[in-house]
Amino acid sequence: MTAIERTWRPPWPCPVGQVLGAARRGAGDPTYVVEGGAGRMSHWRAFRTPDGPARLQVTARPALGEVEARAWGQGSTWALDALPGMLGALDDPSGFEPRHPVLVEAHRRHAHLRIGRTGLVFEALLPAVLEQKVTGQEAFAGFRRLVRRHGEPAPGEGPALLLQPAPAAVAAVPSWEWLDLHVDPARSRTLVAAAARAAALERIVVDDLAAADRKLRSLPGVGVWTSAEVRARALGDADAVSFGDYHVAKDVGWALTGAPVDDAGLAALLEPWRPHRLRVQLLIGVAGLGKPRRGPRMGPRRHLPGRDVDRP
């Protein structure tokens, strides 16, 4: 299979790994591989496009101001056309004012950070549902298992990559196997219901963001947090705050006030930055300004019948 290629010159110094890496679900994500060193680092992704499966290799050439990409598979043309959006070209940071001294410094250090837009709703929804109300370790392990069992090899050459399972494959996973994947019934029911409506969900990419939020939250089991996670990655929504996250309110409160806050406090703190509230959350994250993590990490739950959580 022959690759098709594209060289893109972003109109700003695009931090490729920082933007594209938002799609990576843990270090052992079987759909995303990073190869090479600082001078020639390639990001490999496998995903399903509206035209079919694709493998995408993205390599930054900062000295030349270029991004080189190669793609394989039925969705290769779609993938290369979507590349600028995935790297933040459709994100408009105009009007964002850091204001707070902490954000001013974070923005100075990460002035070129953008919010990418994949345009792939079910691809973003599947891992978001798996990440509901569980530790990252448990969520990433469940994602790896699901992809390894029910995904497919990505087309083309390069490192071993798997595609996320297609919606029909997700809908066909029996209830007992979800438990073996360490996914509880609440999350598996949400995924099966979403898989049945996957075609309709993909159409929200042409909706305004408020309508997209309403349609996502009309799905049983999809609430404020899950909708925000999907809109941030699939639609590039710069105002999609992760309310309900275990860490976000604490981290933003700590960075801006010196003390953690709850979701109500988070909403009040971020209100002056609307419609760029996600930009504040991301800047605090990439600058490492959140509440220090102390004490033992929360372990994965052990009451489900699946095997112990695996490692990457």
Q: Is the peptide bond before 220 cis (omega within 30 degrees of 0)?
A: no
The strand pairing partners of 66, in sequence order, are: 61
Kindly indicate the confidence band of residue 257, based on its pLDDT and cuts at 50, 70 and 90. very high
The yes-or-no verdict on residue 182 having pLDDT over 50 is yes
Q: What is the pLDDT of residues 198-250, one digit of tens each?
A: 999 999 999 999 999 999 999 999 999 999 999 999 999 999 999 999 899 99
Q: What is the pLDDT of residue 209?
A: 97
Q: What is the pLDDT of residue 298?
A: 47
Greatest CA separation for the chain: 55
Radius of gyration of the chain (CA): 19
User: Mean pLDDT, to the nearest integer, of 139-149?
Assistant: 96
Kindly indicate the confidence band of residue 309, based on its pLDDT and cuts at 50, 70 and 90. very low
Chain-centre distance of CA 122, in angstroms?
A: 11
CB atoms within 10 A of CB 106: 23
The strand pairing partners of 6, in sequence order, are: 69
The yes-or-no verdict on residue 269 having pLDDT over 80 is yes
Q: What is the DSSP string of 255-266?
A: HHHSS---HHHH
The strand pairing partners of 52, in sequence order, are: 49
**How far apart (Å, rounded) are the C-alpha atoms in residues 128 and 65?**
33
Kindly indicate the confidence band of residue 128, based on its pLDDT and cuts at 50, 70 and 90. very high
Structure tokens at 298: 């929360």
